[in-house]
Structure 1
Amino acid sequence: MKPISKLGIGPMSQEIIEAVYRYSENNSEPLMLIASKNQIDWSGGYVNDWTTRQFAEYCNVLKKKYPKAKVYLCRDHCGPGFKNDDINDVYKTINDDLDNGFEVIHIDFCHYKGVYEERLAESKKAIEHILKKKPGTIIEIGTDENKGDFLTNIKHVDSEMEFFKKVAPIHFFVCQTGSLIKEVNQAGAFNTEFLKKIKDLSVKYDFCLKEHNADYLDSRSVAMRKGIIDAVNVAPQYGIIQTTLTLSKCYAYGINVDDYLEDAYMSGKWKKWLKKNDQNNKYLCSVIAGHYNFAKDSYKKIYKEINKYEDFRETIIKEIMNNIDIYIKNF
């Protein structure tokens, strides 16, 4: 099976979203926007304070601006434990996504409070609900929490693929590759030999293999995945690119960033990403949490100040497109 796209990108800001549409049109390259429940949801999210409907409406505007672009709206990590533990909330997300034109749903019940067999059963139930409500929806499945571990149990993956093959047509199967994001780095490693065997299984079951947490890879690391992994997701990196670009422009133009850095630090959104550092490295923590706070007045203020010197929106879009290029041209 050929993947619908090689690259999924987190919609961290309006600029990043537009970069995806522009790159897709300019390069005739299908791309995926992968929205987590924290970013965008039926009840709102941290990206521009958007609901799912507002996000879809913005994407529809960009579809008209870039009519030759092919961008799939995708739900990333749809399952309990990613925003709250309420299973009803998961189904509200699914229903609202489908009502607003989402084409791909990633079912991920890795945080479901039950034994493994119950996790599979609940995943099956969610997939059947999706396909009953909107037949033809592209399904992505993944049931293991990503911890950067080097997996070895091929029989477990084989059994899981066999299970989902009987449930419905599965497009993407998410496999743990060893990748792991910590702070502003790729802290994992690519489990090559294991994944070659998993690739053989994916061919057997006619699934596309997808890797999450593929951020911060150079061209050589991306090329290592060619012929093994069919598609990758990259998200925090794009938020970090915009954050560091914003700060560098502020320093160059003498714009005070104290309020923005304080908002980012106080949000606490850096906590899960730390590895070697701690809360005392306030600047690093603020950079890590920066994109969670693009909707804050403190960010809008410095953004407006930068625009007095240059078209900052265009600067961000071009920088994001340059990074997309690394993945597309080497994968």
Structure 2
Amino acid sequence: MAKIPIQSAVKALLELQDEGKGGTLLGIGPMSTNVLQASFELARDYDFPLMFIASRNQVDLDELGGGYVNGWNQYTFVQAIREMAELTGFDGLYYVCRDHGGPWQRDKERNDHLPVEEAMALGKKSYLADIEAGFDLLMIDPTKDPFEIGKVIPLEKVIERTVELIEFCEKERQARDLPEIGYEVGTEETNGGLTSTETYETFILRLQEELGRRDLPMPTFIVGQTGTLVRKTEQAGRFSFENAADLAKMAKKYGVGLKEHNGDYLDDVILLAHIPSQITATNVAPQYGTEETRALLKLAKLEEKLKEQGLIGQPSKVKDVLLYHSIKSERWRKWMVGSQRELSVEEIVKDEELSTEILDIAGHYTFNIDEVKEEINKLYRNLSKAHIDGQRFVVDHIKRSIRNYVECFNLKGLTSRIKEKLNGSKNA
């Protein structure tokens, strides 16, 4: 059976929501191969569609700087996903998605204040690789403009760049005779975000007008601000059921789904509220990386106990190397609050409590560093001497966190419900 395009799956889901049989799709940040494995095993066992959402900092062309996740570029990322699907016996629906694609979406491009023409050209080059590699959904996000810091980017400028990028992607896709892809537009960022229903509808109407004029497809998702915000390893926002429900209703009016970002660390009450508010999809990323770091640190504690009992020899230095490279990465800065963002590495190192906090926040940024990989492998070898499968524990630890979303988002059996809905539409 041919793969169901993500646009068709979302349209079926919007109908299922109205029938009380819907769910909220989960966009999973692919922080490691362990996260891929955990995701595929759960989706196999619970029958729901997967969306893997990769930012340009995580996965990108080698010539543009590559990505910090496993050193993947678009092609090796897609290959790794295919291999993991086969390894886990998964034969359901999965979608490879670009999260925050476009100009200035790599930290270096933004920090270098690249001029708009150069930034747009690099964004397009990255999108072209996404398309050729077989991505299913592209997020078009031109709102990280370094020349507009602290300002609200004019809506017309966002629309103009969004349309230009979609037009480029569609032209390149059609030239290669590749299957249709979905698009995600808008952003959760407050400087270009869609924070009210009035702005949200204005954006949709203007976008519909400009895309229609060029015979381009409407997006599959439009991002809206529901109040979520991640800081450190906590949900620091205030979820608004009313805003979420209003935005979801507005999006559905135009045949598209509301996408929520920053859905990490939400409690069960808010997760369950996603069903009646009819949020179509939610992105969760750093939380699953943090859970992997926590699993490794638990195993490192166990390793020390095994050493005390004389069951293993020299323990690994997993905690030490994770801590060192986490602080050195400085990727924790974006998640910190207030003046902590400006602290020097030297100041962090001297503060044991803050260092531990940063390890929790930024450990996953270091998983692809050779020294870290070596110590993790040593950890696994030591544990195996005590008949403990460390890698299996890590995967299962990540699964606990993802499973919570699966249960609250009513994802169990959703793939079958989508297929039934689409088959019913064909037979009608």
* TM-score of the two chains, using structure 2 as the length reference: 0.73
Looking at structure 2, the residues matched to 165 and 328 of structure 1 have their Cα atoms a distance apart, in angstroms, of 33
User: Which of 353, 356, 364 does residue 291 from structure 1 map onto?
Assistant: 364
Farther off after superposition, 34-43 or 249-258: 249-258
8 Å contact from structure 2 (residues 59, 73) kept in 1: yes
| Runs (5+) with no aligned partner, structure 2 | 1-10, 15-23, 148-152, 174-178, 212-216, 305-315, 341-347, 410-428
User: Which of 266, 279, 290 does residue 328 from structure 2 map onto?
Assistant: 266
Moved over 4 A (4+): none
**Shift in Å at residue 213 of structure 1?**
0.4
**Shift in Å at residue 128 of structure 1?**
1.8
Aligned to 2:40: 21
Aligned to 1:252: 302
| Runs (5+) with no aligned partner, structure 1 | none
Aligned to 2:69: 47
8 Å contact from structure 1 (residues 211, 232) kept in 2: yes
Aligned to 2:170: 131
Give yes or no for the alignment of 1:211 onto 2:244. no
- Pick closer, same or farther for the CA change 1:146–1:23 going to 2, 3 Å: farther
Farther off after superposition, 112-121 or 318-327: 112-121
Looking at structure 1, the residues matched to 401 and 102 of structure 2 have their Cα atoms a distance apart, in angstroms, of 29
8 Å contact from structure 2 (residues 127, 169) kept in 1: yes
Looking at structure 1, the residues matched to 190 and 284 of structure 2 have their Cα atoms a distance apart, in angstroms, of 14
Looking at structure 2, the residues matched to 177 and 293 of structure 1 have their Cα atoms a distance apart, in angstroms, of 31
How big is each residue's C-alpha offset from its partner over 1:256-285, in whole Å with a ceiling of 9 and x where there is no partner? Answer: 322321111111111111127834411211
Sequence identity (%): 30
8 Å contact from structure 1 (residues 3, 171) kept in 2: no
Give yes or no for the alignment of 1:73 onto 2:96. yes
User: Which of 377, 391, 396 does residue 313 from structure 1 map onto?
Assistant: 391
Looking at structure 2, the residues matched to 260 and 196 of structure 1 have their Cα atoms a distance apart, in angstroms, of 41
Which letter does structure 1 place at the counterpart of 2:92? A
Give yes or no for the alignment of 1:225 onto 2:274. yes
Give yes or no for the alignment of 1:172 onto 2:231. no
Count of residue pairs brought into register by the alignment: 330
- Pick closer, same or farther for the CA change 1:61–1:243 going to 2, 3 Å: same
User: Which of 284, 293, 297 does residue 234 from structure 1 map onto?
Assistant: 284
Pick the structure with greater CA Rg: 2
8 Å contact from structure 1 (residues 31, 72) kept in 2: yes
Looking at structure 2, the residues matched to 264 and 249 of structure 1 have their Cα atoms a distance apart, in angstroms, of 18
**Shift in Å at residue 95 of structure 1?**
0.5
Higher helix residue share = 2
- Pick closer, same or farther for the CA change 1:150–1:78 going to 2, 3 Å: closer
Looking at structure 2, the residues matched to 16 and 58 of structure 1 have their Cα atoms a distance apart, in angstroms, of 12
**Shift in Å at residue 93 of structure 1?**
1.0
User: Which of 141, 146, 149 does residue 185 from structure 2 map onto?
Assistant: 141
Farther off after superposition, 273-282 or 19-28: 273-282
Looking at structure 2, the residues matched to 290 and 204 of structure 1 have their Cα atoms a distance apart, in angstroms, of 42
Which letter does structure 2 place at the counterpart of 1:259? V
8 Å contact from structure 1 (residues 303, 312) kept in 2: no
Looking at structure 1, the residues matched to 78 and 259 of structure 2 have their Cα atoms a distance apart, in angstroms, of 24
Give yes or no for the alignment of 1:82 onto 2:100. no
Give yes or no for the alignment of 1:201 onto 2:220. no
Looking at structure 1, the residues matched to 104 and 300 of structure 2 have their Cα atoms a distance apart, in angstroms, of 37
Aligned to 2:176: none
Looking at structure 2, the residues matched to 144 and 211 of structure 1 have their Cα atoms a distance apart, in angstroms, of 8
- Pick closer, same or farther for the CA change 1:264–1:195 going to 2, 3 Å: same
SS of residue paired to 2:138:
strand
Which letter does structure 1 place at the counterpart of 2:76? Q
Which letter does structure 1 place at the counterpart of 2:245? K
Aligned to 2:239: 190
Which letter does structure 1 place at the counterpart of 2:358? C
